[in-house]
Amino acid sequence: MFSNLKTKSGLAVALLATTVFSSTAFAHDPIFGQGPHVLFKDGFEVATEFHSSKKGNELENEFGLEVKYGITGDWAIGIEVPFEIKADDGNSSSGLGDTAIFTKYRFWRKDTKGLQESAAVSLKFITETGDENTTPALGTGTTDSVVGLSYGYEGRRWYRWASVRYRQNGTTTAGLKRGDKTLFDFVIGLRPTLSGYTEPDMVYLLELNGELGDSATLNGNTVANTGGDEWFISPGFMWTIKNFAVRGGVQLQISNKLNGSQEKSDYRAKLSFEWHL
């Protein structure tokens, strides 16, 4: 009798630990790529983000606010509102950029001891709320969309992610269409020290990010010196404690095949602070 009671108690503790671990320690996504992580039902995630990028004489800094809501345990929606500061060839501008709304649905999940695998689809609409008439422009003047598919392997020690996204850009009233892009991301992560939920937790990441871009067109005619392919290597980190996380990384270009004469990307950096409520 006592043996059965001990066995049942052990199973209950193991089930509780698995549930807690699945809903907290697994709540990670890559820095620059995309993963299948969503939220628990009726949960909120609030994040403040800082982005910085430089390409030739172009320097862009962006401060963003992102709010995400869990409709179910597998379906989340959210909104991103950016404030941009741009400089290019002696000109500068600042103000609200293009607001984005997005959703993600996790359609597959498999939990085993100390491991979770999952896959999700996502959709984002980037609205034309920024002012494209400033110099440099704060908006694109179009409504763009991004559809994605992501896979995640999230264990106690190792993480792996892979994703593909396709960005379809709209056409301005002047007939200019920026080239569409296909984005590829391959990521590995390592937790060097295993920790409990109430303890600080650090995961180190290394991403390979690819961007394959079409040339822009103007009234159906190809625009010179636009489009091409770029690949980046991106080291980063995720530091978490309970329901708070700090995530950051930098993208460094390792290869490019740009069409015509174009400035290559010097760097892109990102730092975010996230709360789960």
Phi, psi of 70 (to 5 degrees): -90, 105
Nearest CA to 270 out of 205, 213, 226 is that of 205
Q: Is 242 left (phi over 0), alpha (psi -120 to 50) or beta?
A: left
Cα 224 to Cα 256: distance, rounded to the nearest angstrom: 17
Phi, psi of 22 (to 5 degrees): -65, -35
Give residue-wise pLDDT tens across range 60-80: 999 999 999 999 999 999 999
Give residue-wise pLDDT tens across range 195-252: 887 899 999 999 999 999 999 999 999 999 999 999 999 999 999 999 999 999 999 9
Q: Which domains are present in the chain?
A: 2-276 (2.40.160.40)
CB of 140 closer than 8 Å to CB of 130 = yes
Q: What is the pLDDT of residue 2?
A: 41
- If DSSP codes are grouped into helix, strand and coil, which group holds residue 30? coil
Q: What is the pLDDT of residue 175?
A: 96
Cα 57 to Cα 54: distance, rounded to the nearest angstrom: 7
pLDDT in tens, the chain (277 residues): 444 444 444 444 344 343 333 334 445 899 999 999 999 999 999 999 999 999 999 999 999 999 999 999 999 999 999 999 999 988 999 999 999 999 999 999 999 998 999 999 999 999 999 998 899 999 999 999 999 999 999 999 999 999 999 999 999 999 999 999 999 999 999 999 998 878 999 999 999 999 999 999 999 999 999 999 999 999 999 999 999 999 999 999 999 999 999 999 999 999 999 999 8
Burial (CB < 10 A; 0-12, 13-18, 19+), residue 160, is: middle
Q: What is the pLDDT of residue 41?
A: 96
Long-range Cβ pairs for the range 104-107 (8 Å, 24+): 104/36, 104/38, 104/75, 104/76, 105/38, 105/74, 105/75, 106/36, 106/38, 106/74, 106/75, 107/74
